[in-house]
Amino acid sequence: MDTKRLWRNARLATLAGADWGLIEHGAVLTEGEHIRWVGPLSAMPAGQSVDEEIDLGGALVTPGLVDCHTHLIYGGHRAHEAELRLNGASYEEIARAGGGIRSTVAATRDASEDVLLASGTARARALMNEGVTTLEIKSGYGLSFEAEARCLRAARCLGRELPVTVRTTYLGAHALPPEFEGRPDAYIDAVCDWMSALHAEGLVDAVDAFCESIAFSPAQVARVFTTARQLGLPVKLHAEQLSDQHGAALAASFGALSADHLEHLGDDGIAAMRAAGTAAVLLPGAFYMLRETKVPPVAALRAAGVPLAVASDHNPGTSPGLSLLLAAHMACTFFRLTPLEAVVGITRAAARALGLHDRGTLQAGRRADLAVWALEHPNELTYWFGHNPCRRVIAGGVERT
Ligand code: DI6
Ligand code: FE
């Protein structure tokens, strides 16, 4: 029998409608992993048998946070390259000189699964301490069959060992590994072959690629996506981060879950995303770290009704941050999201960007993923920065200890 718990004496922000969905003197009734009922305690249907009652002391409760774009599993770090960039080198220059993603690939290939799991676990815990209950983790720093498999296994293992939902994404088409120098199409063939085998091992929930002049062309990405479609795997794309390759429109033509970054997105991409129901994932951490100046066309995306998600993009090159709240804060200050949009962006819209329709709001039937905050109002989630106001986390109906 699933345990029934009543979490009461809370100010709830359900995020289920067009506003914060605030409920004073609120209660959440959970049964096993799911929410059975949400509302003001005084309106709870009579005759509920409850195994356990938990007094939340009047605290603010939101849905658990969802980080829908991370590269959490990798070896080493790139503080030295960050220093070079701060001394004037550009990201593209470093990448073309064999640094950038490739230097992390070398460090990742050298790392055992245990080492990858240990460093990934420490990073996941940092995100989880801020209320994250669902986490996407991409491969993309192995770039060989064996090393990509190792990274995806570490990600799967992390999801089994920690009280967090992990969704894995295969990002073989992240960069060209040195052994395929000058042969990008042969590498794309390999990426497609590996995909079937990794999927057969149960390691892949979705497929991503990096569409950029320093990475892969739209034609190459289309081949990766065609293989994903044949395997029944959903796709998403790093699109329009540094230039407009019309990647978002390509992704949308494959019914992509999301197109991510989007600083250089044009009107064609917005129209295609709208028509396909593809979410926009905004990554202000990378924008900040690269000291970019061109912001994504947020007003046009908003006007088109494209769902706006926000993620940490945690990676060792362009976004070494481990705070989803800071990403939400930056989405407001840099990209002009409203606080409500940014909080929806790290909950409901982020869940949607992962194709998960069972979480991201406080509603009956949803997963019982809750974050409890030492805050009065949810607009404070994007107000404070460099501070963690998360006090308790309930994942799948169970409080994390
Ligand atoms: N876009 C990014 O910002 C990261 N990957 C990508 O496709 C950068 C990854 C790195 O520099 O290690
Ligand atoms: Fe990324």
Asked if pLDDT for residue 345 goes beyond 80, the answer is: yes
Residues 207 and 305 in one domain: yes
pLDDT band for position 41 (cuts 50, 70, 90): very high
Distance 166 CA to ligand 1 centre (A): 20
H or E stretch at 28:
strand 22-31
Question: Is residue 241 in contact with ligand 1, taking CB distance under 6 Å?
Answer: yes
Q: How confident is the model at residue 85 (pLDDT cuts 50, 70, 90)?
A: confident
Written as one letter, the residue type at 335 is F
Same domain, 91 and 109: yes
Edge-to-edge strand order for the sheet containing 165-173? Answer: 65-67, 132-138, 165-173, 206-209
Q: Which pair of structure tokens corresponds to residue 243?
A: 């230039």
Going from the Cα of 17 to the center of ligand 2, the distance in angstroms, rounded, reads 29
Ligand 1 nearest-atom number relative to CA 290: 3
Tokens 């503080």 -> residue: 79
> Which ligand lies nearest the alpha carbon of 169?
2
Q: How many domains are there within the chain?
A: 2
Radius of gyration of the chain measured on its C-alpha atoms:
21
Q: Is 318 in the pocket of ligand 1 (CB under 6 A)?
A: yes
Domain match, 234 and 264 both = yes
Is 192 touching ligand 1 by the criterion CB < 6 Å? no
Give pLDDT, residue 97. Answer: 76
What does pLDDT average to over the chain? 97
- Domain match, 56 and 79 both: no
> Is the same domain home to 123 and 139?
yes
139 and 241 both lie in a single domain: yes
pLDDT of residue 190: 98
pTM value?
0.97
The region that residue 21 occupies, defined by phi over 0 for left and psi between -120 and 50 for alpha, beta otherwise, is left
Question: What are the strands, taking DSSP E only, across 188-285?
Answer: 206-209, 236-239, 258-261, 279-282
CA atoms within a 13 Å half-sphere pointing along the CA-CB vector of 159: 18
Residue 136 and residue 18 share a domain:
no
| One domain, residues 155 and 49 | no
Q: Which pairing describes strands 390-395 and 370-373: parallel, antiparallel, or unpaired?
A: antiparallel
My answer on whether 33 and 146 are in the same domain is no
Q: What is the spatial distance between Cα 308 and Cα 313, in angstroms, rounded to a whole number?
A: 15
Looking at residue 269, which CATH number applies to its domain?
Answer: 3.20.20.140
For residue 196, the enclosing domain spans 65-353
Summarised one tens digit per residue, pLDDT across range 289-301 is: 989 999 999 999 9
Residue nearest to atom 4 of ligand 1 (CA): 318
Say yes or no: 23 and 47 in one domain: yes
Q: What is the distance in A from the centroid of ligand 2 to the CA of 143? A: 15
Q: Where are the beta strands (DSSP E) in 216-324?
A: 236-239, 258-261, 279-282, 308-310
| Res. 188 pLDDT band, cuts 50 70 90 | very high
pLDDT at 96 over 90: no
* Residues 94 and 189 both lie in one domain: yes
* Ligand nearest to the backbone CA of 101: 1
315 in ligand 1 pocket by Cβ < 6 Å? yes
